[in-house]
Each structure stands twice: as C-alpha cells, then as structure tokens.
Chain A
Amino acid sequence: MRTIEVLFVIVILLSAFLITTYFAVLPSPSQAFGTNLRELSQSTLETLDANGVLSATVFEDPNDPAWADLQRALSASLPPNMVYNLSIYDLTADSQGVVTYQLTNSISDASFGADSDAASLMVTSPNVTFTQDPQKVGESTGQNITMYILNCNDANGWWITGYTGQSLAEDVYNLLSPYFTTTVLLNSTADLQLLLENSPALEGTIENAVVVNTFGEAVPIPDDYCEGGSHESDGYSGGSYAKYFHTLGSLTRQHNWTWTSIVGYPFYYVTNTNYFDFAQNGYGIYGMEDVRTAGVNAFLQGLDGASYSYNDAGTAAGVGGVQFTSEALERCNYYGIYPFPNQTASRALNQSIEGIYHLDRFASVFKLKNGRIAAATFRHQDGSGALTAIGLTRIPDIRVTALALLMYYNPTVYKSEFGASGTSRLVTLQLGQQGGT
C-alpha cells in the first residue's frame, strides 16, 4: 500500500519536474552573448554615410553602379559570418499628412537564420540643400571663362604668413569655382608653362581667363624661364627677373587675362623651389629670388603693350587703414562673403599708374586714400587684359580677393531653393549571424 503511495509521490515529483522544464526553457550559458547586431548595424550605416556616400546612393536609380559599390562595401566591411539585408523605403505623405513607407530597393547576400537584428537610418537626399545657383562668369556675354589657380607644388609663398600657396589655392577654389564654368589648378610650374605657352594640353580656355596667383608677393616661374633655360630671354634680362613679369604682362594683354595678386606688393619675387633651391628672400624663405619694385612696373609695361625697360621706381606704398567702398559693402551682402570692412593697406598702388599705363579702374574694394588704391581691378583702356591687385598687409584674407573678382565680373546669384518632396528615405540594415550565436 505504501509502495503505491510512494509511487504516487514519485509521479508527482516527475510531473513537477517535467512541467517546470517544459515551461522554464533556460538558454545555454554560451548563448548569453552574441555580438550586439543592432549596434553593429547602426555603426555600419553611420560609417557608410560618413562621407555622404550612402545618402547619395539610396537616391540613385536601382540600376546605377553605385548600388553594386554599396553591396561590395557591405560585404567587405562585415565579418564573413554575417549576412545582411539592406532595404530602402521611400517616405511619402498624402494630403492628410499620413506618411507611408514604400520599399524602393533591397540588397541582401543570404537568407537569415533565427537570430538577426536591424537598425535604421533616415537619410536625406544630397540634393536637398539650401542652394545658390550662381551665374557663370562670362555666361551673359557668351564667353567661356576659365579660372586658373596657381597651386604649384614647387613654389613657395611670401606675405602669406600662416598659409601656403596650396592652402590658399584650395580656399580660392572653394570660394570662386562655383562662379566659373571651368576651374583648373596649375599644380606645378610645368603646368604654369603650359598656360604661358598656350598649350592645347592644358584644360580650359586660355583666352579671357582669370589667373589667380596664391603665392602672395612671389610668382611661380617655370625652370625654362630662369637663367640658362630655353626661354631665358622671356624671363631673365640684365641680371633681373623683371623681364619675366613683362612677359606675364604681355601675355595678359595678348590673351585678355585678368591676373590676380591676392596680397602685398605684386610681382616682387619669382619662386621655383627646384631652381632656386638655395636662394632665399632675405627673410629665410628659400626657393625664391627678389625682383623688388621693378616687377610690377615691368608687368604694367607688358600690359600696356610697351617694350621692356627696367624701371624700379616705387609703385606701391603703405597708407595704413582703409575702408570698404559702399559698393563693396553691398556686394558682401549679395554674395554672402563678409571680410572685415576695415583693413590695413601696406602695398597700395599709386593712382598715377592709371595715366602712365593707360588703365581704367573698376570694382574698387576700398576707398581711395592719399592717392593710392588698396584693392581694385585695373583694365587696360584697349580692353585687353586686367590686373586685380590687393595691396593689403599680411595675413591675407582670401575673401577680399574673392570679393574683388566678383565685384569686377558681377555674376548674378539666382534665388535659392529648398526641395521638400520625396527627399527622405529610410534605410534599414538587418544583420544575422550564420552558424548560430
């Protein structure tokens, strides 16, 4: 009898055990952890979008090669045991404001097992920005004007303390390239030589071009134009490189360039770190040789169509503080460029150059002071060639140069737009681990 009772107890115990194990399913301790797929997914999405590539790709046509690149990037960046599914949803809102999600594209590399997790990222079309559409310089007159920026890696700058010619070239590019149909960086003096010789190998249109010298008072010179070079006669005469600037002035006249000097005394040095590797300007900056005050005179002679004659008369001098003209202040607002309106001019050109070299003055950035012009564009009265000279003290403010050129060419800036429809998409990345967790 008691055996039967005990059997009952055992049955009850076993039943309790079975019921407990049936309902209380405990995972294996090794399953306590699997890589946090949601966070990995989130970080993957953010990494892919770090340079805006993901945002740009998800708005592309599904047949665009960018999708294949994205798929390769996902496969390359995730561990080999991970599978993924990237889905893109277009967000649209009806007239009632109800937002709907419509799948537009999806890429994946395998089906998922039991364990997966996902994260999402809302991206905005790169086209949805507050935009300015500037008119290209010369567009209104049917001209195709190219801007050449001197970015020579074998040249040194002077009077550009705190910057390099190359960093200023990048700034000029960022500020002004939207206003030009073509912008070309001349990355070496060899590139500059292509410009001087009107080489067809050079990109852009040489006629009517704007040439911006970002090396301050120094101007890059190709090896061939130096003493002993194949173009020595165009660059060196009577122990001075003022002849080189006369050649630049003549070419400016011949091709109707606008030569731009961003700061300081224009054409004061020639620079070429390969040729002048052991010459310095007296202030410890190697790779240049001084021409001094004869440089700007020689350039203006060339611009005037006159033959070269060495003239070292001082043409620029300091006048202290100068103020923006009312036109410059108005153009600051128009173009959204705001250099400080009070500056110091230590190398302002003498007003007498207008009579001597037959120049007309346009787009004065600063008010005339003591018969000197701190920053303006001087165009030859024949209409062939111009010089934009910014005679300010160092440290250069490249925005003054940008303002001076924009005042001279006066391109129109069309009204901004802000797109809003169909401009946001939801990107979800689902990750799973093959072979369990």
Chain B
Amino acid sequence: MTGATIDHMISLTILIAALLVSMLIFNGLFAAAVDYDRNRQVANKAIDIMNTICLSPGSPIDWGETNDTLLGFGLQDPEVGGYTLSPYSIMRLNTGSSSGGSQIVYYPKTDSYYNNISANYGHGVLIPLGDCVNYTDAAELLGVNGTYGFSIDIIPILEVSVSQVPVSPPQNHLILKVDVRGSGLPLSGATLSYSLFHVGKGSTYPSIASYSGVNQTDSSGSAVIEFDEVDESNDAYSFIVYVSIGGVTGNGYYTHNTLGDDHQLVIPFIEDYDQGTVIIAHSWDVQGAGTPPVPEIKYNATFFALTSDFQFQQIEIVNSTGHLLYGWGNPYFVTQLPVSEVGLLVISYKRDATRMGTVIMPWGIGTLGVATSFDSGFGSSGYDFVATELRQVTINGVSYQLKVSTWSLSG
C-alpha cells in the first residue's frame, strides 16, 4: 500500500514536471511566432509606405508645385512616373523638425518662419513653413499616425566632392579637383559635365559669366579642371558638376567668395511657392550678424534652367539687379522664377570692389544634389525592431537612394 502511494507520488511529480517543461518550450515557440508575425506586419507596413511614397504622386497630383492643401501623400513625379520623385514635392516637406534637419529661419520683415533644406556654405532652399507638409500630416495621410513611426532619407547615390587645388605663384588661375565615389569606391571613367559661374565686378552691379565643359574621371575617380579666366583667390565663383556613368548620375558643387569667411551677405527666401516669387534679403536683417553690419550690397540674380542633358540655360528674371540695404526702412527685393523649370538661382553680390560672393538656391531639389531627411524628430531609438526599405530613384535625372524606415509605436 505504501509502495503504491509512493509510486503514485513519483509518477505524478514526473508527469507535472514533464508537462511544465513542455508548456515552457511550446510557450517559447509561440512567443517567437507572435514576434515574427508582429515584425512581419512592420515589414509589410514599411513596404506599403515605401510604395505609397515612391509610386504615388499624392493628391492633388501637382501638390508639389502649388500651395494647395495636401489630401494624399506621395512623392512620385506625376509627369514622369515610375521610380521618379518630384523635385518640387520634396521641397515642400517640413524637414525643420526632423532629426538632423537644419534649423528653421525667422525673417522679421515678413514675420514668417522658413523651413531650411540646406546644403553647405549657406546654399539651400528656404520655404515658408506654412506651405510645408509636416510629419504629423504626412503620417495621418499615410494612415499610420499613432500606430507606426517612419522616417524618409533621400541621399544622392554618387558622392561628388569638389576641392580647390593650390597653385604656386606666379600662377594664379583656378584649378578644381572633382572626386567621384559610389558605395565608397572611386568611380573611374565617369563623364563630367560642369559649369562655372564667375562673378565679375561689373560696373554698378556684379556680373555673372558662365563657363562650361566636359571631362572624365581617371582611374582614381578624380578629374582636374582648370580655368584660366578665374583667379583662384581673388575671384568669387560657383562651380556645379554633373557626373554620369552607366545610367547613374550625381552632382556636386563648390563655391568661393572673397569676403573673408563663409558668411553669406544675401539670403534668398521663397515668398510664394505657387508663383515662384523669391525674396532677396540682406543677411543682417535675418541674422543680425556681421559686426559692424555691411551697409549696402549690390547683387545680380540670374536663373539658369537645367536642361535634360545637364546644361544650364539662362532665363531672364525680374529685379535681376538691386541695391540691398539693411533695416526696416529698406525693403527687400522680389524676383520671380519660371515655376515649371528646374534650375539654379545664382545670386552674385559685391560689398565693395574686392569683396564679392555668390549664393545658390536650387529650384527643384535635385539640381544641387541636396540630401534631406523627413521624420518626427525623435527617430526610432527605443524600438527594438525597425524595418528598412531601399529604392533607387531619380530626381531631375539625378540618381538618389530613398530609404524608408518603419517601426511599430505599440512596442
């Protein structure tokens, strides 16, 4: 009798232990399956968001070229289709609150804040914040507000860097070196199509003379370009280069001024996106910088439209020259760009006979190869699973990589 009871107890204990072990193991399996399913949903959502952004122009389809209220979010270029993004829609993204985004700019004379999609040396696009699409609106239109977080990164595929090569006196002409890399590797045999906008003293207002040409990178992915007409240290200029090889295109730029620092004295703001009007402002009115403030600046603004073969064609614009003064009694100038043409607004200016500079504003994001990010500003840190989708796209014929990262806000 006692033996049977002990037998029962042992067998029951072993049975319960076996059941517990089995349940734990199955529970682990089920948990992994649930996690997998949850992550799969995030991954599917990433693909869904990417396809919406890449393959839909949004609603209205030309929202990037107007001030219209956005009803559906998408960045595809409606005139081209496929994996081509609209250069204008991207300009309307509010990137000021994104992680890594440039600080928004306040201009007292219009009492407005401007979103800043900037490149180096102060060149970039400043758009009224009220015309921009913010992250929350985009998330709502994508149907993920409160459920999923996402970020968009638009990065040029080719890294094109331009540097000035020092020359030994008595030589003083300009020599520029262009380095082209892709995925970290130097790109040999790439075709370069370049333009240099040389700032001349002019009579009253500075002048802009353009020089263009073609070249090719050597085995180290570099090309050296010489300009006999330009003094390397005493002249101001802007240099833009488009690089193409095997269907991939990139661009880079370099500017030089004779002001003594990189502080720009003229700042262009987009006044009306729909009409293409651009404010040309004295920098002291914006930043209060420069001690003592530069009293007067004479500028010459020229718009160069970008053709399909990456050449620039000059287009006449109003108020192309002016005499900027700072302070409330002195109004800013307004010019107007052709809204249907992508290109560059090149503003050359002079403080006096020897101190001159140039600032570039791209009209259409691809013309200057600007990279940009669009997210909530908090990023994906703290979330243990982030799905990332990559696509190759073109903007103004320039090759970009579009990265969309997505995570679940429910943990």
Contact = CB atoms under 8 A, between A and B. Distances in A.
Interface of A: 1-3, 5-7, 9-10, 13-14, 16-17, 20-21, 24, 26-33, 35-36, 39-40, 42-44, 46-51, 53-54, 57, 65-66, 68-80, 153-154, 156, 164, 166-167, 170, 273-274, 277-278
Nearest to A44: B392
B247 A39 contact: no
11 contacts: A32-B39, A39-B389, A47-B247, A47-B248, A50-B397, A53-B247, A65-B189, A77-B392, A153-B210, A167-B313, A277-B207
Interface string B26-47: 1001001101111110110011
Given A3-B14, A29-B32, A51-B397, 6 more contacts: A6-B12, A14-B22, A28-B32, A29-B35, A43-B391, A76-B182
B187 interface: yes
A35 to B, nearest CB: 5
Given A40-B391, A47-B399, A76-B248, A166 B314 contact: yes
A43 B183 contact: no
B295 to A, nearest CB: 23
B54 interface: yes
A50 B15 contact: no
A21 B313 CA distance: 68
Contacts of A43: 54, 83, 391-393
Contact of B246 (A2, A66, A277): A66
Interface string B188-206: 1110000000000011100
B109 interface: no
B163 to A, nearest CB: 20
B158 interface: yes
Interface stretch (B3-11, B142-150, B277-285, B356-364): B3-11
Nearest to A12: B18
A13 B19 contact: yes
Interface in B235-261: 244-249
A288 B36 CA distance: 73
B358 to A, nearest CB: 17
A47 B389 CA distance: 16
Contacts of B157: 76-77
A9 B16 CA distance: 11
B290 to A, nearest CB: 29
Contact of B29 (A21, A40, A154, A164): A21
Contacts of A28: 32, 36
Contacts of B38: 29, 32
- How big is chain B's contact interface, by range? 35 or more
Contact of B389 (A9, A21, A26, A35): A35
B118 interface: no
Contacts, number: 184
B167 interface: no
Given A9-B18, A33-B387, A75 B247 contact: no
| Residue in A50, A80, A278 with the greatest tally of chain B CB atoms within 10 Å | A50
A46 B158 CA distance: 17
A262 to B, nearest CB: 17
Given A32-B43, A51-B249, A75-B182, A68 B189 contact: yes
| Residue in B4, B19, B313 with the greatest tally of chain A CB atoms within 10 Å | B313
Main secondary structure of the interface of A (DSSP, over half): helix
A320 B43 CA distance: 68
Contact of A73 (B43, B84, B247, B313): B247
B50 interface: yes
B316 interface: yes
A77 B307 CA distance: 23
B108 interface: no
Nearest to A4: B11
Nearest to A70: B246
B82 interface: yes
A69 B247 CA distance: 8
B409 interface: no
Contacts of B29: 20-21, 24, 26
A166 B390 contact: no
Contact of B36 (A29, A47, A75): A29
A424 to B, nearest CB: 19
A61 to B, nearest CB: 16
Given A44-B392, A49-B247, A72 B39 contact: no
Contacts of B84: 50
B141 to A, nearest CB: 22
A40 B390 contact: yes
Contacts of A65: 189
Given A29-B35, A72-B189, A77-B157, A2 B11 contact: yes
B83 A47 contact: yes
B161 interface: no
Nearest to A34: B43
Contacts of A50: 82, 84, 247, 394, 397, 399
B43 A1 contact: no
Contacts of B51: 39
| Residue in B4, B37, B42, B248 with the greatest tally of chain A CB atoms within 10 Å | B248
B36 A77 contact: no
Contacts of A47: 83, 247-248, 392-394, 399
Nearest to B182: A76
Interface string B311-322: 001111000000
B165 interface: no
Contacts of A72: 182, 187-190, 245-246
A26 B82 CA distance: 36
Nearest to A78: B183
| Residue in A35, A53, A70, A76 with the greatest tally of chain B CB atoms within 10 Å | A76
B388 interface: yes
A39 B392 contact: no
B390 A3 contact: no
Contacts of B391: 39-40, 43
Contacts of A66: 246
A54 B247 contact: yes
A13 B315 contact: no
B407 to A, nearest CB: 11
A409 B40 CA distance: 69
B316 A164 contact: yes
Contacts of B392: 40, 43-44, 46-47, 77
A164 B316 CA distance: 7
Given A40-B391, A77-B248, A77-B392, A17 B397 contact: no
A28 B4 CA distance: 46
